[in-house]
Structure 1
Amino acid sequence: MIAAMKKGYPLILWLFFACSCAVSNKYDPAKKYSPGQLKEDYTLFRNILEESHPSLYWYTSKDSIDYYFDQGARQLNDSLPEYKFRNILSYVVAKIRCGHTTVRSSKAASRYSDRSRSFSLPLSVKAWPDTVMVTSNLNRKDSNVTRGVILRSIEGRPIQSIVDTFFNYLSADGYNLTHKYQTISNGGMFRNMYGSIFGLRRKMNVEYIDTTGSIKAAQIDVYNPTLDSPAHRPVVKRPSARQRRKMEFQAQRNMQVDTAKNLAIMEVNGFSKSYRLRTFFRKSFKKLRKEKVQNLVIDLRGNGGGSVVLSNLLTRYIANAPFKIADSIYAVKRKSKYHKYIEDYFQSRLFLLFMAHKREDGNYHFKYYERKYFSPKKKNHFNGDVYVLTGGNTFSAATLFAKTIKPQDNVTIVGEETGGGAYGNTAWLIPDVELPNTKVRFRLPLFRLIIDKNEVKGRGVIPEVEALPTVQAIMRNEDFKMQKVRQLILEKRQDSAVHGLK
């Protein structure tokens, strides 16, 4: 086992050979699929995208997409485990430049991952242009590579080279990089991608800049979960199902009101239909009216999208004029000859049959949303100052909300460029496709949504007031975007006071 580690065998083989704490089940992460099986799955993958993806050549020319498809096919002459096959698919999919088109593990692999703990790179990071900062080290006894150090290289690979390599496997809308930087900063994504792409060794060389500004070198141990598991775990009383549900709701959407500062902070971490957002919005805006709150912060930094109907509802509480969802929204196909591989195909087929209609351009348009203007709410409409916090995780329907209300005089977007495209995206109906041999899945968006044909293509919603990460802010765990909002509110009050005296 140690010899295998020293040779830098990939993470997935470690899972199979070395992880004694993994639960036993039928999934074998070391299982390899024959070139014939891989090629059959890959051909389906390509054919389905070429048949039904409405934006396959939106940002990348057909010649280039064909080149990447062919390049991926040339890598299938040897047997491969699932994760290596997924890497090939992810590399190709990233070239489409569609943030909603992503590759997912098989259901069996996903269950295995949920139930097992594996060896991994121990580091999590916060990344932004020119900086990759360690935010945590799973090896808690390591006193060198700790929170706050800036990575320069791992195993001789410059950190920018590592980031650029990761970006080649990550999907994003258009030319957006904020979403990619945020993705590798989320949870354990950095350490998981490193193991999957580069493999792991028992000890790895790291060069970094410490908190005094000195360049240092050290070796870090691979994270071994068996050594980190206490012999006796403390007994913790598990919350009831009702309590867990309440906690889950609170994490997804909540609002705090500071009457002394005439400020409310509304956090909305998704537009899922599962979290009773209609009731939450109705009660929240009623409370804002009753307490005469004049400053509202809507925090969308963790909002990856969801239901456009619910995003629309929030917009109606803020918008000061009728608004439209999109200039155009259409699919290129009503049905697929590969329907047996597409999950929820029947529901998608019904929607396309009854809601989308063919027009002169040969595409199937969802005319309702192309023509419909939505009116602002009259009851409990918020007319005060609105500050919307955005970042790389602000995506899809959350970007649509930010884009719609941004032009208003009483709205200020604060933070970083949204991860979702301001010009448009490819989404709406997004079934999973499951490939027959490996069972690897990929998401297949069926509609192209052009939000604003006059917007810059390939970028997110750009904030009027930037609030960017710094080493000092991350070290101190400061909410630098919220601090910027409080500063803006204070400056406005001071300006009002000065003008009031004149």
Structure 2
Amino acid sequence: MISWLFALVIICTSCGSARNAFDAGHKFPVEKLQRDYTVFREVLEESHPSIDWYIDPDSMRHYFDWGYSQLRDSMTEPQFRSVLSYVIAKVHCGHTSTRYSKEYIHYLDTADLPMFPMSIKVLDNDTVILNNTLKRSDITIPRGTVLTRFEGQPFISVIDSMSGYIPGDGYNRSYLNQTLSNRGAFGAWLRLISGLKPSYEFSYLDSVGTEQSFRFRLVEPPKRDSSRKSIIPVIREKLKRRERREEELLYARSIQIDTALSAGYMTVNTFNNHNRLTSFFKCSFRELRKGNINNLVIDIRSNGGGNVKHSTLLTRFLADKPFKLADSLYAVNKRSKYGEHIQYNWFTGIFFSMITKKKQDGKYHFGYFERHVYKPKKKNHYNGNVYVLTGPNSFSAAALFARAVKGQQNIKLVGEETGGASYGNSAWFIPDVTLPETHIRFRLPKFRLVIDKHSAKDGRGVLPDIEVKPTRASIMANVDPKVELVRELIISNNGRQARNK
């Protein structure tokens, strides 16, 4: 009996060791990289609906060939992913991006790696510190400090170089700048593109405008508490789970009503499922009607998209006339010859046979959405003044919502150009493709959506009616200029309405 237990311990220990034996520095031989790259290229050329939407075929072939030419020696997973990211960014599709393998993601989540201690904000003419955890007793670098150089290179050149690896819709520069400005993103992209070094030097302008230089080291992550915790009663754990869920829902969507201003402030940070958005919208617009609220602010600046069912429902509560979601929505094929590497490929053919029909152009059209006209909601429809706050992080379904309500007389878009394209996008059904050797993944949108075929395909996002951008001064003062302006507009409108009574 003891010998069997001993053997079992040995086996479990061996299995645990095997699971923990992931080598992040492992280099894949050229032959395996080339095989993965061939799958990567041929899947995109075969199945992506918009491979040459924003780039001519000859230029795309050039970038594909360039990527293959880089495979001259063995590479680690991050090195290879860096090459793939640079090439895939040339498709100019924000839904088409690379991901580390699941094994590498697990490594990053558990390895307690040193962190890049600074987030930046890329403005039109400057790059400034947004926040940092740099700690030195002899120097203070406050929020809003202008950065001039990074590792001896002009900061703007560094930003331009890094932007070449970031996928985005069309030619939207504001989206690329915002992507690098999101919290922790600069360090994350730096890790992918060139790997993090133990220390870096940057230059900045001090309080009197003199350029100074500063070298800093990466920051060690906080130590995890490995001490034994007391057992929490089951009832308390259930309460904690319920509280966490409520916090998640509150972050996903919320509404506050200021009766003094007769204004509602609705935040919708996602259109993803499982956030009770249908009931939230119905309840919110019922409360707005009951309270006779004349002004509504809808903040979608942090909304990266989700299910168009939810964005369409929100549109129906606001739209003053019937609308279509798209002029065209189609895929280029049902199945791929590389189906063994593509997520959900086993049922894609059946699914597409049910929802699409092949037309004379050879494409598989999702006819329901091409034909269907949505009518405005009658019950609790909102007819007051609406201000939609937009920004570069407004993407996918959030951009579709902004595009649908733009131009309506009682609605104003306030803020910045959306990250999602105004002309359309490639998305809807987005399986992961897993490369056979490195297990690196990339997202493969299957449908191309064109909102209005008569509009310009200029590669821009949905432009605001009133443009308000962050400035160095607003960052240093930690104020939100978009919200401040909307508040002024609401007060002005309330005064005008009072005078007209």
Q: Output the amino acid matched with 2:326.
A: A
2:102 counterpart of 1:107: yes
Q: Is the 8 A contact 1:422 1:452 kept in 2?
A: no
Residue-by-residue CA offset, 1:230-280 (whole Å, 9 max, x unaligned): 889999998711111111111111111111111111111111111111111
Q: How does 1:297-376 map to 2 (within 5 A)?
A: 297-376=297-376
1:465 corresponding residue in structure 2: 466
- For the 8 Å contact 1:148–1:211, the answer to whether it is kept is no
Segment drifting more, 124-133 vs 464-473: 124-133
- Flag the 1:455–1:209 CA change in 2: closer, same or farther, 3 A: farther
Contact 1:119 1:224 in 2 (8 A): yes
Residues 334-359 of structure 1: CA deviation (Å, up to 9, x unaligned)? 11111111112234333311111111
| Gap change, CA 1:124 and 1:234, over 3 Å in 2 | farther
Q: Greater shift after overlay, 147-156 or 55-64?
A: 147-156
Rounded to whole Å, the distance in 2 between the matches of 1:231 and 1:362 is: 59
For 1:46, which of 41, 44, 50 is the aligned residue? 41
1:471 CA displacement: 0.7
Alignment of 1:175-214 (within 5 A): 175-214=171-210
Alignment of 1:9-158 (within 5 A): 25-141=20-136, 143-158=139-154
Distance in 2 between residues matched to 1:231 and 1:48, nearest whole Å = 45
Cα displacement string for residues 366-417 of structure 1 (whole angstroms, at most 9, x for unaligned residues) = 1111111001111111111111011011001110011001121010000000
Provide closer, same or farther for how the CA distance between residues 79 and 470 of structure 1 changes in structure 2, counting only shifts above 3 A.
same
**Counterparts in 2 of 1:126-275, with a 5 A limit?**
126-141=121-136, 143-225=139-221, 229=223, 240-275=240-275
Residue of structure 1 in register with 2:492 after alignment:
491
SS at match of 2:452: coil
1:397 partnered with 2:380: no
Q: Secondary structure of 2:108's partner?
A: helix
Give yes or no for contact 1:348–1:429 (8 Å, CA) kept in 2.
Answer: no
Deviation readout 1:93-147 (Å, 9 max, x if unpaired): 1101011100011111112222232124321111122221111222233634342
CA distance in 2 between partners of 1:298 and 1:26 (Å): 49
Q: CA deviation at 1:464?
A: 0.4
Please give the alpha-carbon distance, in whole angstroms, between the structure 2 residues aligned to 1:342 and 1:425.
21
Q: Is the 8 A contact 1:423 1:454 kept in 2?
A: no
Given that 1:144 and 1:218 are in contact with CA atoms closer than 8 Å, whether structure 2 keeps it comes out as no
Corresponding pairs, count: 475
Structure 2 contact 357–367 (Cα < 8 Å) conserved: yes
Q: Offset of 1:211 from its aligned partner?
A: 4.0
* C-alpha contact 1:45 1:435 (8 A) present in aligned 2: yes
Q: Which has the larger radius of gyration?
A: 2
Contact 1:103–1:443 under 8 Å retained in 2: yes
Residue 260 of structure 2 aligns to a residue whose secondary structure is helix
Shift of the 230–327 alpha-carbon distance from structure 1 to 2, 3 Å rule, reads closer
SS of structure 2 residue aligned to 1:33: coil
Question: Which AA in structure 2 matches 1:481?
Answer: K
Q: Does 1:448 align with 2:448?
A: yes
TM-score calculated relative to the size of structure 1:
0.91
SS at 1:208's partner residue? strand
Match for 1:277: what amino acid?
L
Partner Cα separation in structure 2 for residue 343 and residue 230 of structure 1 = 35
The AA in structure 1 aligned to 2:341 is Y
Call closer, same or farther: CA 1:230–1:81 in 2, change over 3 Å: closer
Identity over aligned pairs, percent = 45
Separation (CA, whole Å) in 1 of partners of 2:208 and 2:492: 34
Structure 2: distance between partners of 1:468 and 1:347: 45
Gaps of 5+ in 2: 1-18
Structure 2: distance between partners of 1:188 and 1:59: 29
TM-score using structure 2 length = 0.91
Displacement after TM superposition at 1:491 (Å):
2.4
